[in-house]
Structure formats: C-alpha cells, structure tokens
Amino acid sequence: MRAENRHDLHVPTDVYLSFVSSLFDNRSTLFTGMVVHILTCLVVYIQTGAVFYLLLCGCFASVFAYRIYSFKQFDQVDKASLTREGIANWEMRYVLGGALTAALLGIGSGYAMLSFEDTFAELACIAVTLGSMVSVVGRNYGSRLAVDLQTLACCTPMVIGSLLAQDLFKGLLSLMLIPFFLTTRAMANGVREFLYENVIASREMSKIADRFDTALSNMTHGLLMLDPDNRIEVINRKACELLHLGDRTRLAGCDLDVVLRYGVRHTFVDGSMPSLLQAQLSQLTQGISSRALMHFSEGLVLEFSASRRAEGGVVLIFEDVTARVRADRKILHMARYDALTDLPQRGYFSELVSERLEQQGGCGSKVGFMLLDVVDFKHVNDLKGHLTGDRLLTAIAARLTALVAGKGIAGHMVGDQFVLFFPNADDQLDLEAEMRAIHAAAGGNYDIEEVRLPVSFSAGAAVFDSAALPAEEWPVKVDIALLESKARAKGHFTLFVGEMDARYLERQRLKEDLRAAVENGDITVVYQPMFTPDGREIRCCEALARWHHPEKGPVAPNIFIQIAEEMGIVSAITLHVLRRACSDCRTWPEGLSVSVNLSVQDLRSQGLVDSLKTILAETGLVAQRLHLEVTESSLIEELSSARAILEQLRSLGITIAIDDFGTGFSSLSYLDTLPIDVVKIDRSFVRDIGENKRRLKLLRGIVHLSRGLDLSIVVEGVENREQLALLSKHHCADLIQGYVFSTPISPVAVTELARNVQARNGKGDAVVA
C-alpha cells in the first residue's frame, strides 16, 4: 500500500526522466535475452517439429529490431528539452516493446503446456519465461506499467494453457503463477520506491550541501575543519583568502602544517614560519588553548578560536582583526603618548621609568629627573597664535628627544612642561652636570614658520638612588625644585636639596593659613595716598591688602598674593578689598577716590561686573570715586576678555588705570586699544632719573604720548625730593604716589591726613610727609 501511495504522488519531472532513462540502459541484457529466446524456440522446434516455434523466432527478431531502433532514437533525444508528456511517450514505447517480448514468451510456454506432452518442451519454455520474468524487477523497476504488463503478458497465456490442458496438476501449478505475479510486481515497486526515496534524499542532501557550501563561501570568517591527524577536511573560501592558500579544492586531505609551509603556491607562510605561530597553531589543534591572536605579518593579524569535535579533530574559525588591532594600538598609543608632541604622558612615563629600573636590577646607581617649564609660553600663544604655540611645543619635544637619545627618556607632563629621566646605569656620569648641559642646550632659538622664537626653560631637577627610588616622591621633589627656580629667576636651573622640603611644607601650611584668613576676613586694608605734585591735595588712595599672620607676623603682599593666585582664591581677596575700600572711601571727604588692583583671575571672572554693582549698591559709593588698576601682564594673558570687561566697568563710571606701565610687552598698543583713563608709570623709571638722562627722556616720551591721548599720569615710587623736583620741573605727573609724601596708612589716618592737608593748604604751605 505504501508503494502504491508513493506512486500516486506527483513525481518530479527530473526524477521521472531518470526512471524512464533507466529503462533504456543496459542493452547487453536485451541482446542476450533475444538470443536465448530464439535459441530456445529453435531447440523446441527441433524437439517437437512444431512450426509455431519458428514463427515465434521471427516474432522475437522483429520485436528486438523495434526495441533496438527505439533505443537508438532515445539516445538522440535532447533530454533537457523533454516535457513530461514527451517522457511519458517514450515510456509507452518501451512498455510496448517489453510487453510484446513478454507476451511472446508467455504464448510459447502456454502453447507448449497445451499442445505437447513433451516434458522437455514445457520445461524449456517455462524455464526461459520465468527466468526472463525475474529480470523484470532489475530492468523495468523504473516503470510500474512495464512491470505489470510484462508480468501479466507472461503469466496469462501460461495459466490459460494449463487450464485448457485439463490437467489437474498443471492447473494447480498454473495458479501458483498468481502469487509469482504479485511478488514480482511488489519487488519491482519496492525497488522503485527505494530508489525514489534515495533520489529525493540525494537531492535534499545536494541542496543542503549547496547551501552549506554557499554559507561557507560567504562567511566573513575563515573556517578549517581538521581530522584527528591534522588533515584538512573542510576549508572555506575566506580561509583560503586570508591565508593566501589558492584553490581550496586542492587542499582536502592535506596536512595543515605542510600546506602552510610548503604546499601551496602564493602562500606567505613558508619554511621560515615563526616558531611562535607554529606553537600557537599546535596548541589550538591539540586543545591546549581555545583562542589565539596570531600576527602573521605587519599587515595581517588573525584571531583564531578552536572547538574540539566529538569524533576527533578540531574546527578552527578565524577572522581578520588587523583593523581592530591597529585601532587598539592607536587607542593605547593615544592613552600613552601626547597627541601633539608624541612624547610619553605622565602615567606612561612613570611606567617606562619603572621598566628601565627593573632592567638595571636595582644596582644602586644614581638616577636623575628634570622638569622643564617653558618661560612665558603663554605670550607665544597670545602674540603668535595657538597654532604657532603648538608647533613650538612639537619642536621642543623633538630637540629634547634628540638631546636624551641613548641617555634617558623624555616625556610630556602637561601644557608647556616636559620631564626627562636619566638612568645613568653605569654610574659614571655626573648627573647634575649632564642635566645642566641639557637645560642649556634645550634653550635658544627655535625657527617656527620662518619666525625665530627665543626660548628659555625654568628647570627643577633631583637625583636619587635607584635602589630606593620612591615612585610617588620624585614628581614632588622635581616640582618643588621647579618652584624654587621660578621664585629665583626665569630660566633658572635648580637641583633639589633637602632644605627645599621644609620650605615647601612651610609654604603648604602658609596656604592653609591664608585660606582660613580669607574665609575669616582677616585680610586688612591700608591705603597709600596719591598727591598732586605740589603736595597741596590728595586726589586718590590706592588700597593695599595686608595679612598679619598670628605666628609669623606680617607677610609680604608679594608672597601671599602670589600664593593666593596659585590657590585660585585671589578673587576672593579682591572682592574683600573692594568691599572694604568702597566702605572706607564712603567715610572720606568728597572728591577723594579709592583705587583697587585687579588680578588676571579677576579679569577672567564673568561675575566681576555684577559683583562690583552689588558692592557699590551696598556701600553707597558712587562709581566715579572708584578706580580699578590692571597690570600689563594681566592684559597680555586675557586681552580680549579684559577689553570687554573693562568697557563694561567704564560704562558704569568707574575709572580704569593701567598699572606698572612700561614693564610689559607692546605697552604702547594698549593705550589705543583699551578703555584706559590713567597711566601709572612704574617705579623703575623713577629710580635713577637724576643720573640717567636716557631714562628721563624715555619717561618724558611716555608722558607726552599719554597726554596726547588725554590720559592722566600717575608716577609711582617717588621716594625723595630730588625725584619730585625733577618730575615737577618737566611736568611728568598729574599725581605722585610714593614715600616722598606718605607711606601706606590706615583708613582712619587717611581722613586725618586729608584734613591736615586742607588745613595746611589754608596757610598756603605744601605738604611733604
């Protein structure tokens, strides 16, 4: 039943064609059968003398000729162009020939059983007929109709002949042909069903194989399947591309090591394949490791993963991770090296130092560190632009690298600071002398875009015993030494000594005390008056911050103001002084103003203008009585933002003065570009004007230029009558500030002094304090 049902299904055309084609194969058996059939009929004729068998011989020959003709015609047909109907026609042509042959055999046997009592004739005919029927299964399974018709054509005449012979035993024997017919038919159908299922299964397997091959060929990963003997069983196209292995069809069954070393044209891994790669592959194939990153060349890095197979062997899957490895290297390089100078950054520099010391094995030699800080680097950025500043840093890095080549390591700390390490492994080098020499060689002229820039460095250095080098201490020591250098003079070299630690700690404690003093309002304010040159009138008083330390006593302003700037709290001091000065000035006589200094940090503050509005409102002081002084150094550092803030302050009615004029860079340009009302000439121009006529001429030139721009002149640092007389003679000042008239005094003393001046003016006397 199962075979019948399967036959009723719609067989695919290509399968149907293969079944029909099988009918026209194996023609040698057809020729053999024809010869046997004719010889059997001739023998029976000779034995019985029946002419009927001669006629059968002719019929067999005719049918054979027809069948051979059909076979040759089928050979000439284009099988690919056959339709299902055409295939069925060819099947019918074959069935007709086979049925005729079977019918002739059956008729011959039936006639023998009916007409002769000759046992030989019956036996010969029946034996040949049944033998031919056995071949029906093997030759005609491809057509159920062929099997059915041939079996019926053979058996039916034999049954009829046996029954007509009226022989009981022949009749019973003939009935046994019925199960023979059914068995033959069942066997043929079984073979056809088995082959059909195998054809379908083969087609499905072929589809799966094609899909698997397509999937393998289109994988983005390379795949290698190895047997237990390390021979290649499966390899995909990507694997051949990545490993340069050529045509993959040549590689099945080849040993992987041999393929990689010798066996494939165009391979890039030859007999000199690095032992590391061989070891890594061996570990993967042996199951020792499951993943490995393998550097085949600078331009190819593959990552392998391995999976063991249950039946033995291993599956290797790998991908090209060259881009990822390069990206990782780039990220690591970016994390380790400064993007601008390409020098090791602080963290990686420390790692390199540790590695170098480990290589030396802690032999107890001396090692040195030097921290270099570019003097006035910000001026380069402000005057020449940040691009020029960046190129200067790059040039400095290149020079430092060349200077320490073969001697030590150069690194970049932050901004314009560089650090050098001198391992001094042989302990035969005078480290201090070497570092001083490199400090001197690092400075000098740098040519940047056809502009020659003179560069100098403040340097701090320290020497340590490599066997006991504390990794966390050397940065502190060289930083302390650098601070000492900056405190002494620009471009100075200082070697760390033990006493610096004490000074550093003292400075740190001073910072803590200063912070507390600012928070508690312990900063006091004194005032130095500014007189007219004849001493008859006080016009303004400069507010000066003072700090009296509870233990150390008075701390010089140049010390604690510098510390406040380092700590970033100088703006808090400025606001405190402003509030105090405005409050004190409110109690002074009308017409007397107060002047307060602004730092560079104040000019960076976006809230300065609002804070001043609030202070003026709280104290009740009119804005015209407040003067604000800015130094040239603060203008250089924050020129654009300073201009905007000063314009806002001046619009409120506040007077703007430029302090320490003549000590900075490009001073004259500020007189025209900034909203300035007063020029305060630095004391350095007054110190020796009696002896130095050139300095007096320079002073008079500055005064003349300033007055041409309608600016008021204040001369600072006038200490004696000779200086005052010379300034008065040449009309060099509108106001005089200095010890010649008054030292800094308390706010109460300002009121008293102003009254005294007014009383003396009533008598017509000038005042010289």
Q: What is the pLDDT of residues 313-353, one digit of tens each?
A: 888 888 888 888 888 888 888 888 888 889 999 888 888 88
Average pLDDT over residues 259-276: 54
Confidence of residue 744 (pLDDT cuts 50, 70, 90): very high
Q: Are 734 and 713 in contact (CB under 8 A)?
A: yes
Distance CA 491, CA 494 (A): 10
Q: Which residue has the higher pLDDT, 667 or 601?
A: 601
pLDDT over 70 (residue 667): no
The H or E element spanning position 386 is helix 386-404
Give the start-end residues of each E strand in 259-400: 291-297, 300-308, 314-320, 366-374
Q: Percent of the chain having pLDDT more than 70?
A: 85
Confidence of residue 302 (pLDDT cuts 50, 70, 90): confident
pLDDT at 582: 95
pLDDT at 18: 79
Average pLDDT over residues 224-243: 83
Q: What angle do CA 629, 631, 635 make, to 5 degrees?
A: 110
pLDDT over 90 (residue 398): yes
The H or E element spanning position 444 is strand 444-448
Question: φ, ψ for residue 650 (rounded to 5)?
Answer: -65, -30
Average pLDDT over residues 571-599: 93
Which of 93, 100, 109 minimizes the C-alpha distance to 150?
100
Fold classification of 337-496 (topology level): Alpha-Beta Plaits (3.30.70)
pLDDT at 174: 66
Distance CA 488, CA 458 (A): 10
Average pLDDT over residues 30-45: 83
User: Amino acid identity, residue 241?
Assistant: E
Confidence of residue 766 (pLDDT cuts 50, 70, 90): very low
Distance CA 113, CA 550 (A): 149
Distance CA 262, CA 270 (A): 6
Q: Which residue has the higher pLDDT, 365 or 417?
A: 417
Structure tokens, 481: 């030494």
Average pLDDT over residues 77-98: 84
Question: Which residues, 6+ apart, have CB-to-CB distance to 235 below 8 Å?
Answer: 223, 224, 225, 245, 248, 251, 252
User: Amino acid identity, residue 447?
Assistant: D
pLDDT over 70 (residue 181): no
Rg (CA), the chain: 57
Average pLDDT over residues 416-431: 77
pLDDT at 606: 78
Confidence of residue 266 (pLDDT cuts 50, 70, 90): very low
Average pLDDT over residues 545-571: 89
Confidence of residue 367 (pLDDT cuts 50, 70, 90): confident
Structure tokens, 92: 């019918």
Question: φ, ψ for residue 531 (rounded to 5)?
Answer: -100, 155
pLDDT at 9: 41
pLDDT over 70 (residue 195): no
pLDDT at 427: 55
pLDDT at 768: 40
Give pLDDT tens digits for 612-649.
999 999 999 999 999 999 887 666 666 677 788 889 99
pLDDT over 50 (residue 8): no
pLDDT at 718: 92
In this structure, which CATH number among 3.40.50.800, 3.30.379.10, 1.20.120.790, 3.30.450.20 belongs to the domain 219-327? Answer: 3.30.450.20
Average pLDDT over residues 600-606: 82
Confidence of residue 7 (pLDDT cuts 50, 70, 90): very low
* pTM metric for this prediction: 0.52
Domain ranges of the chain: 2-204, 219-327, 337-496, 523-763
The count of C-alpha atoms lying within 13 angstroms of the C-alpha of 61, restricted to the half-sphere facing its C-beta, is 10
Structure tokens, 102: 């079977």
Q: Are 124 and 173 in contact (CB under 8 A)?
A: no
pLDDT over 50 (residue 271): no
The total number of residues written for the chain in this structure: 769
pLDDT at 698: 86
pLDDT at 20: 78
Q: Are 464 and 366 in contact (CB under 8 A)?
A: yes
pLDDT over 70 (residue 446): yes
Average pLDDT in the chain: 81
pLDDT at 628: 94
Q: Specify the CATH superfamily of domain 523-763.
A: EAL domain (3.20.20.450)
pLDDT at 525: 95
Average pLDDT over residues 39-54: 84
Confidence of residue 10 (pLDDT cuts 50, 70, 90): low
Cα distances from 744 to residues 151, 462, 739, 750, in angstroms, run: 141, 42, 9, 9
Q: Are 225 and 315 in contact (CB under 8 A)?
A: yes
Question: φ, ψ for residue 300 (rounded to 5)?
Answer: -145, 115
pLDDT at 5: 37
pLDDT over 90 (residue 588): yes
Give pLDDT tens digits for 493-531.
999 887 777 777 787 888 899 999 999 989 999 999 999
pLDDT at 361: 64
